[in-house]
Amino acid sequence: MSPAALQSLLPSDPSSIAGYRLLGRLGAGGMGVVYLGRTDNGELAAVKVTHADQADQADFRARFRREVEAARRVSSPWAVPVTGADPDAPEPWMATAFVPGPSLGEAVTAHGPLTERGVRILGGAVARALAAVHEAGLVHRDVKPGNVLLAVDGPRLIDFGIARTTGETALTSTGMVVGTPGFLAPEQAEARAPEIGPPSDVFALGCLLAYAATGRPPFGTGAVDALLYRTVHDEPDLDGVPDGLLDLLRACLTKDPDRRPTAEEIAARLTEDTPGAAADWLPAPVVRTIAERSAAMLALPEIDATQLDASDTGDQPAPSRRKFLLLASGGGVALAAGGGIAAWAALRDDGKEDRKAGPTPKKRRWIIGVHADLTGPAKNIGRAQERGARLAVEQFNARKDKPFTLELKVSDDGGDKNRALAAARVLTGDPDVLGVLGPTSDYTGLAALPAYDEALLPLITVSAGSNMLINANLGQGLSMLQACPQHAIAGTCLAYYVLTKTRSVRPGILQDRTDDTYAWQYIGGANFAFRQTGLVPVPRVVPAGTTDYKRVLGEMMAEGMDAYVHCGLTPSAVLAARALDELGFTGMKITGQHVFEPRFPAEAGDAAEGWVLGAPVVDATTVKAASPFVAAHRKRYGAAPAFYTGESFDAVNILLQEVEKAAKGGKRPDRTELVPLLRKVRYQGVMGGYVFDAQTGELHPGAVGTFMYAVENGRYKPLEFAPGGPPKKRRT
């Protein structure tokens, strides 16, 4: 965990635990809370405290004790050490040394892959840490980018929560996959418990190093089932791995555990020296991040410089930041920073930090940001979202009792994921921005997310439904609220609609792999819903670029398909519509969000008639409660609001409601404290009700959902909300 993720303590939080003064929250989940703690001599630690109700469970306390014991058995400079623990306390806790650097996943996502030298240093250090793990008779079982923290003097392996003694199977049931898909071995993917051992960690290390070298996992991304299948059956994608590392990574990633090298052998083959105090093994932006986070330690309460002379009194000048760093307790900040001082020294500009303060800073502004695609493929959606945000801000400013005046700041990513991070930094880099609406699409959202998470700047999307935007395994989604259903949930809604409206007994579901992640989420949700009611669908997966849909769909009809769910994008939906029309198919034809655009009925023509589409938006002109909003939009823009405008209006008003509540007495709130407040919101907007999961920020199933439309005379005719569950009694 990093200082960028530090949140204020809650009133219910303790102020200290077993000699650790608690300075803030680093994270929280269903099992407990992780705090940033400090000892009396200045040492910083990540203090993990379990919930009392969990501690009452004997099996949970036993697992926690095993985690503590496992971490204590590992002795390596490249593994984060345990500095204290009490598994028998009323609320069991464990403290580990605090490393302020980013995780490997965060660094690669934000700044790209490492150099070959950087990968060698990373691999050598993590291999040595794993060698120590294996020497202690343990298997880590979760070597992934989120579990490797970066410091200038080398990486640190963390998290022994699922580590197990070699050969231990009592807690690894047959059929239970343990680890992170995309970074686990084939024997883990197939839950072959007796075969899981040190070679499994070596395979995961190979995945980790391929990711560090290329910026992508070697078995791709997407739905869990797809990742597990590729891990077991496909060859790794090592395109872009430096030639000097290819043979080693291929050896690590062989399917046969017995043919993989040991961790000691990997460390020996990666002969690059350890970095010491040099910062050049990491990209400069990563070093800068480490330096900034190390410097942020100075702002924490009661970390004081050591006095040079107890007799020094009177009007002595305050120590400069450099002197502060050099004088700070030797066992405290310097060690806790994990090389942060070296990073600061590598990047600082001598003479600048000791200058006197400049002019009085400008008066702070109150800004709401919009991150959208305004000029790219989804520009119609992005512009609608901007209009919704602008109306919300203008409505707020028109209030006579407004406590402050708002501004709107817009950043356009053009729908290009390569521009998304820069577009995000336009907003996160402005300290006056209090929250952001957006981004418009899944992939610009994923590319931009590291900037928002690092700044802990609230981010509300009404159109990006990828479940990867909130992914605890990758340590991301700290700032995100999804005011729309996730794609997998939307897929279940499509299936429930089929079950409610038809007599289907053999529904067909087809995945177009053009957008593999989106389609996998939809088909997974639909398949779950159908099987929940005992139906066995007719499935098909077609490669990107497939054009012969008549043959594929004809085969599905021959197998008894009586309803059709299309999990893919508009071009393939157009081909499917034409093919089904030619084949004379009369069952329900249904698809989801990424086909819900004017292009589908325009290109499919008569073949689109009767198709049903689900999307996370409602036609505002059909909602009685939205009448004042629709009138305001007509007055402002001369037309009825487009899809996504009303939802954006609601999302910005959710932000404004919580900002105003937090602005007690007109005092500007700390934007980093707003996300937990927003996730507890129950808000009734003009387009419906919004409730979020307090831990993840995803939309609660009981909130606004997927709305259904039918194509009629080339237009989308509003129908109703899709059911949130299977019908109590099937139509017969």
Active site residues: 142
The answer to whether residues 574 and 596 touch, using CB atoms and an 8 Å cutoff, is: no
How far is CA 591 from each of CA 519, 551, 704, 706, rounded to the nearest angstrom?
Answer: 11, 20, 19, 12
3-state helix, strand, coil in the chain (%, to 5): 45, 15, 40
Pairing mode, strands 715-721 and 707-712: antiparallel
H or E segment and range at residue 707? strand 707-712
One DSSP character per residue, 537-582 reads -EEEEE-TT---HHHHHHHHHHTT--EEEEES-HHHHHHHHHHHHH
Cα gap 56→47, rounded to integer Å: 20
Residue 427 has, within 13 A of its CA and on its CB side, a CA count of 36
Q: Which residues contact 393 (CB under 8 A, 6 or more apart)?
A: 368, 406, 407, 408, 652, 656
Q: CA of 399: how far to CAs of 137, 402, 666, in Å?
A: 67, 5, 15
User: Residue type for 439, please?
Assistant: P
Instruction: List 149's β-bridge partners, or say none.
Output: 103, 156
Residues 6 or more apart whose CB falls under 8 angstroms from that of 294 comprise 100, 333, 337, 340, 341, 343, 344
Q: How far apart are CA 473 and CA 237, in angstroms?
A: 21
* SS3 (DSSP) at 52: helix
DSSP line for 348-416: --TTTTTSPP-SPPPPP-EEEEEEE-SSSTTHHHHHHHHHHHHHHHHHHHT-TT-SS-EEEEEEE-TT-
252: phi > 0 → left, psi -120 to 50 → alpha, else beta; which? alpha
The answer to whether the beta carbons of residues 623 and 686 sit under 8 Å apart is yes
Nearest residue to 722 via CA among 712, 714, 710, 711: 710
C-alpha pair distances (Å), 407 with each of 196, 270, 393, 395, 481: 56, 53, 7, 12, 21
**d(Cα 218, Cα 213) in Å, to the nearest integer?**
10
Q: Cα 99–51–149 angle (5° rounding)?
A: 15
Cα distances (angstroms) measured from residue 11 to each of 32, 94, 535: 16, 22, 50
Contacts of 578 (CB under 8 A, 6+ apart): 549, 604, 607
The answer to whether the beta carbons of residues 94 and 50 sit under 8 Å apart is no
Q: Any bridge partners for residue 155, and if so which?
A: 150
Supply the DSSP string of 455-507, one letter for each residue. Answer: HT--EEESS---GGGSBGGGTB-SSEEE-S--HHHHHHHHHHHHHHH---SSE
65: helix, strand or coil? helix
Residue 465 and residue 442 in contact, taking contact as beta carbons nearer than 8 Å = yes
DSSP reduced 3-state for 689: strand
Determine the Cα–Cα distance for residues 401 and 394; give it in Å rounded to an integer.
Answer: 14
Closest CA relative to residue 177, chosen from 166, 192, 163, 198: 192
CA distances from 275 to 70, 79, 124, 154, 181 (A): 27, 16, 11, 6, 31
- Is residue 38 within 8 A of residue 24, CB to CB? The reply is no
